[in-house]
Amino acid sequence: MDIEPRRWLPLIGLAALAAVPLIAALTDDPYLVTIFTRVVILALAAASLDFILGYGAMVSLGHAAFLGIGAYTVGILAHHHQSGAPLLEAVPWLTGTNAALISLPLAIAVAALCALLIGALSLRTRALHFIMITLAFAQMFFFLFIAMARYGGGDGMVMWQRNTLPLINTGDSVQFYYLCLAFLAGSVFLLRRIVAARFGRVLRGAAENERRMAALGFPVFRYRLAAFTLAGAIGGLAGALMANLETFVSPSLLHWSQSGELMVMVILGGLGSIYGPVLGATLFIMLEETLAAWTEHWMIILGPILILVVLYARRGLFGWLTWRRHG
């Protein structure tokens, strides 16, 4: 029998996440479902960051931009749906919408397009410059949304209700939770397939030795850009879900500290595993929830934990749990 933890741990994780609403019902703590919806959505964003960071060595410090772009796509569509005003005054038939079947794909598409443009420019740089340029782009979007007074500026805007879906009542917190969990499970499965496929091998190769990759005949830039775009698209999906969870959209979603938190989740959980960041997001939010009850300076406790992980568990929590103790 296969007893490799690498194989069963993700399944246990999925089962545990699936059991959250049940535990919430048993302990009569409905807030638990809301917390874990947050966990699941941030895990989705962190997993997409791990895809480019852990496999492609693209240290993007602006990943929250895509979260924000996805959220604002949903928020702006809902805003126009609520007011009845067309999206563009010149095109009166182009109205807002509250239908998730339109808003979610659109959020993904807009985030992907932005990622394509940002990536096309940023990926011409390396190392520290890449970190700085992705951060700069995220800040640009941050201030763009602050400047958009029509959509609430720095205060953000409220959605009257969640986007609607046929068959699923998104207003019900448990149904919405399972919807988010399905997106997470689907995305994690997809990303795991991709990193093991030819595309992922090229991505890993380029991270390790770019010069060699070019000499072998790979147009490395193209593969990196495709990966960056896919990560941005999934980030956009996470943002769209976050907007729906909170029924509120504000620039704080794409503040640079949000990008930093996503990176902390990835490193805490384990770089280059896709599963790790899910664990990292869970731990991060749990710590935040429990410690923030004592002190608002809960980062004082997270800090040392992060240092210990970086020093003693280079592959993060997931790497430590699945480390084979033999030989």
Partner 1 sequence: MAEALLCTRGLSRRFGAVQATDHVDLDVAAGTLHAVIGPNGAGKSTLIGQLAGEIATDAGRIVFAGDDITRLPVHRRAHAGLARSFQITSIFSGFSVRENVALAVQAHAGHSFRFWRRADRERGLNERAEAMLARVNLGDEAQRLAGELAHGQKRQLELAMALAGNPRLLLLDEPMAGMGAEEGARLAELLRSLRDEVTILLVEHDMDVVFSLSDQITVLIFGRVVITGTPEAIRASDEVQAAYLGEHAAC
What does the binding site for partner 1 look like in residue numbers (CB under 8 A)?
190, 193-194, 196-202, 204-205, 208-209, 211-212, 214-220, 223, 226
Smallest distance, partner 1 to C-beta of residue 217, A: 3
Cβ atoms of residues 46 and 281 within 8 Å:
yes
Smallest distance, partner 1 to C-beta of residue 225, A: 11
Q: Which is nearer to partner 1, 51 or 137 (CB)?
A: 51
Cβ atoms of residues 60 and 130 within 8 Å:
yes
Nearest to residue 264, comparing CAs of 284, 286, 279? 284
Q: Which is nearer to partner 1, 171 or 219 (CB)?
A: 219
Q: How far is CA 119 from the centre of its chain?
A: 17
Nearest to residue 313, comparing CAs of 321, 325, 301? 321
Smallest distance, partner 1 to C-beta of residue 203, A: 9
Q: Which is nearer to partner 1, 24 or 202 (CB)?
A: 202
What is the amino acid identity at position 90? Answer: A
Smallest distance, partner 1 to C-beta of residue 209, A: 6
Helices 256-269 and 31-50 cross at an angle (nearest 10°) of 80
All residues at 6 or more sequence positions from 82 whose CB lies less than 8 Å from its CB, including other chains: 96, 159, 160
Q: Which is nearer to partner 1, 93 or 326 (CB)?
A: 326
Q: Which is nearer to partner 1, 210 or 288 (CB)?
A: 210
Smallest distance, partner 1 to C-beta of residue 193, A: 6
Q: Which is nearer to partner 1, 101 or 196 (CB)?
A: 196
Smallest distance, partner 1 to C-beta of residue 73, A: 25
Nearest to residue 265, comparing CAs of 129, 64, 70, 10? 64
The phi and psi torsions of 157 (rounded to 5 degrees) equal -140, 150
DSSP 54: I
Smallest distance, partner 1 to C-beta of residue 272, A: 10
Cβ atoms of residues 87 and 211 within 8 Å:
no
Rounded to 10 degrees, the C-alpha dihedral 111/116/121/126 comes to 90
Q: Which is nearer to partner 1, 166 or 217 (CB)?
A: 217
